[in-house]
Structure 1
Amino acid sequence: MIQTRPALQRYAVMASLCAATIFSPLSATAQQAVVQDGIKVRPLSTSRIFAGGTDFNQQSKLQYAQLVNEAKQKNALVPDSDPQVKRLRAIAQRIIPFATRWNEAAANWDWQINLLNSDQVNAFCMPGGQIAFYSGIITKLNLTDDEVAVVMGHEISHALREHSQAQAGKGNLAAIGSKLAGAGLSAWLGVDPNVTSTVTNMAAQGAMLKFSRDDEREADLIGMDLAARAGFDPRAGVVLWQKMAAISKGAPPEFLSTHPSGSDRISQMNKHMTQVLPLYARSKGVSVDALPPYRSNTVAAR
């Protein structure tokens, strides 16, 4: 049947309305998917599967228990009643609920937080969630709660991303690869295998340093993300590394270190601040523009 022009126009309008109704949710979803919610979650490193099958979490838990017991025997374990211990555990309680975003297994970890009386500027988190801070990092850097949260988030991130397992796997692969490469190079050049193995081992070691620096960079970003979601200012990360630079003069050059340079870390943090600062603003119920400037404490006199 031949449609008149007005009828065809009405049909076209109705078809357009139906199409708009059907596809509008898809368009909205597509637009929302473009918006990045904090630091992007990526798959865990496949190198973990070459770690030799060791139960890292259980082994790490035993090592941590031994460390705590030794510290207790030497009166170096700060008691639970200490204000700084309570402070660390309160900060951890706010961060840990967001850990499963990066590793679902963290929901079943046996989380522990302890403070060791030591001048070392250090902190760590074992695979499985056992955290230790050395008092030196708190006192020498005069850390604010936000800065403690960034440090804690960084260390937790190493455990969440299973960097220890991945490093072990990469180490096993590098060892095998260096032996094969050394044997092949020796046969091709007709020289002593010991000479070529030295060269290939040096190359493998350089690759491992690179892997470790990459892990540190990833932990920096995820640490800021965790801290921001928990209501701590991620801008503290930049100030933290400015403080670290002030007390770490004479550190080895970046290409010989397992850690990126402080300037490299600060640059990366600033580059990703637009992704994590909205998380912090959201936790405070305000816009990014309404956030006050970050305020820190001065570094304690040495």
Structure 2
Amino acid sequence: MKPLISACLTLTLFACATSPTGRSQLTLFPESQMAQMGTSTFTSMQQSQKMDTNPRNATYVNCVVNALIPELNALAPGMRSTQWEVKVFADDAPNAFALPGGKIGVHTGMLKVAENQHQLASVIGHEVGHVWAKHSNERVSQGFLTQSGMQLAAVAAGDMTSEKQQLLGLLGVGAQVGVILPFSRKHESEADEIGLELMARAGFDPRQSVELWKNMQKAGSGSTPEFLSTHPGVDTRIRDLNARMDRAIKIYQQAQASGKRPNCRL
């Protein structure tokens, strides 16, 4: 029991990191391992899900990605060696994702909700922000520690009793509501902040990030109550984006003045 606790404490002490926004974070796994997991998952998704075959969609999405990645590389030199791969999935759900290892997926449904290049840049910038901020590593690390903690509690409690069952049930709910879900909302808010700056630096209009979320709300994607949701509510997202908008617009205007004027069209 003591060696296991000692090992967990040692991992915690030596796995502290700082996110792009200055937030302290816990990342237990090497990024090379996270990249392997991301690549494996991306390959499996392509094999199990229907891929979009419209070359115009692929060209459009790649155009937006190619405008964003140089700005990411400028802010995060450690990611310059990442070879980004982009795929479009034939799925009506308005969704997109980015995985460790430089894998980006966009659903065709997102191309309907994101009405222009600026709104799509908001989505992709947000997803790339998750990768830069190592949110997947945090989630995997948190899950590892949560499961270890629950196992330790089960061992410490001794024989299975009704009291022990109640304790484990409360611990599971407490971990879910008190740690995991608010933590995920923090990730989403941080990715929004990163994505807003990336799109502005690339010459995309950051004001369109607000319009995107209005569209998502109309499409029904923002209907989940914020409490017990892994994502912030749409109204909260819009409020937070607007709070950062003045700075983002200045960055956007500077980018435009320097000649960064993306022209990605579907």
Q: Look up the equivalent residue of 1:77 and give its one-letter code.
A: D
The answer to whether the 8 Å contact 1:52/1:169 transfers is: no
Name the % identity.
Answer: 28
- Return the alpha-carbon distance in structure 2 between the equivalents of residues 53 and 100 of structure 1: 17
Q: Deviations over 1:147-187 (max 9, x none)?
A: 00000000111111110100111112223334556777x69
1:67 and 2:45 are equivalent in the alignment: yes
- Return the alpha-carbon distance in structure 1 between the equivalents of residues 200 and 30 of structure 2: 35
Return the offset for 1:106. 1.6
SS at match of 2:218: helix
The answer to whether the 8 Å contact 1:78/1:114 transfers is: no
The answer to whether the 8 Å contact 1:103/1:161 transfers is: no
The answer to whether the 8 Å contact 2:114/2:120 transfers is: no
The answer to whether the 8 Å contact 2:222/2:234 transfers is: no
Q: Structure 1 residue aligned with 2:226, among 236, 244, 254?
A: 254
The answer to whether the 8 Å contact 1:178/1:204 transfers is: no
- Return the alpha-carbon distance in structure 2 between the equivalents of residues 128 and 202 of structure 1: 32
- Residue 20 (structure 1) aligns with: none
Aligned length: 237
- Residue 56 (structure 2) aligns with: 83
The answer to whether the 8 Å contact 1:118/1:135 transfers is: yes
- Residue 163 (structure 2) aligns with: 192
Q: Look up the equivalent residue of 1:78 and give its one-letter code.
A: T
- Return the alpha-carbon distance in structure 2 between the equivalents of residues 99 and 157 of structure 1: 9
The answer to whether the 8 Å contact 1:102/1:160 transfers is: no
Q: Unmatched 5+ residue regions in structure 2?
A: 1-18, 259-266
- Residue 46 (structure 1) aligns with: 25
- Residue 9 (structure 2) aligns with: none
SS at match of 2:106: strand
- Return the alpha-carbon distance in structure 2 between the equivalents of residues 247 and 156 of structure 1: 23
TM-score, length basis structure 1: 0.72
The answer to whether the 8 Å contact 1:44/1:162 transfers is: no
C-alpha change, 1:285 and 1:125, in structure 2 (3 Å) is: same
The answer to whether the 8 Å contact 1:163/1:215 transfers is: yes
Q: Unmatched 5+ residue regions in structure 1?
A: 1-39, 287-302
Return the offset for 1:260. 0.5
The answer to whether the 8 Å contact 1:106/1:128 transfers is: no
Q: Structure 2 residue aligned with 1:116, among 80, 89, 109?
A: 89
1:173 and 2:145 are equivalent in the alignment: yes
Return the offset for 1:101. 4.8
Q: Deviations over 1:14-50 (max 9, x none)?
A: xxxxxxxxxxxxxxxxxxxxxxxxxx9435753112x
Q: Could you say which structure has the larger radius of gyration?
A: 1
TM-score, length basis structure 2: 0.81
- Return the alpha-carbon distance in structure 1 between the equivalents of residues 190 and 52 of structure 2: 30
- After TM superposition, the structure 1 = structure 2 runs for residues 1-302 of structure 1, keeping only pairs within 5 Å, are 41-43=20-22, 45-49=24-28, 51=29, 55-71=33-49, 74=50, 76-79=51-54, 82-139=55-112, 141-180=113-152, 192-206=163-177, 207-248=179-220, 251-285=223-257
- Return the alpha-carbon distance in structure 1 between the equivalents of residues 138 and 35 of structure 2: 13
SS at match of 2:236: helix
Alignment root-mean-square deviation, CA? 2.5
